[in-house]
Amino acid sequence: KKKEIESPRLCAELLLSRQLDISRLKLYIEYGQPVGKKDLDQYRAMIKRVADGETVQYITGAQEFWSMDFIVNRSVLIPRPETEILVEQVIRINKENYQEAGRVHILDMCTGSGAIAVAVASEISNAEITASDISKESLVVAQLNIKRHGMEKRISLVNGNLFEPFIHHRGCFDIIVSNPPYVTEEEYRLLPDKIRNFEPKIALESGVDGLSHIRTIIEKAPQHLNPGAWLMLEMDPRQIEAVRQIIASNSSYMGVSVVKDYSHRDRVCIIKKRQ
Quote the pLDDT of residue 217.
Answer: 98
Weakest mean pLDDT among 31-40, 66-75, 179-188: 31-40
| pLDDT surpasses 70 at 39 | yes
Weakest mean pLDDT among 67-76, 167-176, 263-272: 167-176
Quote the pLDDT of residue 61.
Answer: 95
| pLDDT surpasses 70 at 2 | no
- Residue 129 in contact with residue 174, Cβ under 8 Å? no
| pLDDT surpasses 60 at 24 | yes
Domains annotated for the chain, with CATH where assigned, are 8-52 (no CATH), 65-71+75-273 (3.40.50.150)
Mean pLDDT across 153-163: 98
25: enclosing H helix or E strand: helix 24-29
Quote the pLDDT of residue 188.
Answer: 96
The identity of residue 104, as a single letter, is V
Residue 8: CB partners within 8 Å, gap ≥ 6? 1
Mean pLDDT across 161-165: 97
pLDDT class for 4, splitting at 50, 70, 90? Answer: low
| pLDDT surpasses 80 at 14 | yes
Mean pLDDT across 120-138: 97
| pLDDT surpasses 80 at 107 | yes
Weakest mean pLDDT among 44-53, 102-111, 113-122, 229-238: 44-53
Task: Could you list the beta-strand ranges (E) of the chain.
Answer: 62-65, 68-71, 104-109, 127-133, 155-159, 173-178, 225-234, 253-260, 266-273
pLDDT class for 32, splitting at 50, 70, 90? Answer: confident
- Residue 99 in contact with residue 93, Cβ under 8 Å? no
Grouping H, G, I as helix, E, B as strand and the rest as coil, residue 253 is: strand
- The string of pLDDT tens digits covering residues 74-99 is 999 999 999 999 999 999 999 999 87
Q: Which residues of 173-210 are buried (b: 16+ CB within 10 A; e: fewer)?
A: bbbbbbbbbbbbeeebeeeeebbbebbbebbbbbeeeb
**Distance between CA atoms of 4 and 194, rounded to whole angstroms?**
12
Percentage of the chain lying above the pLDDT 70 cut: 99
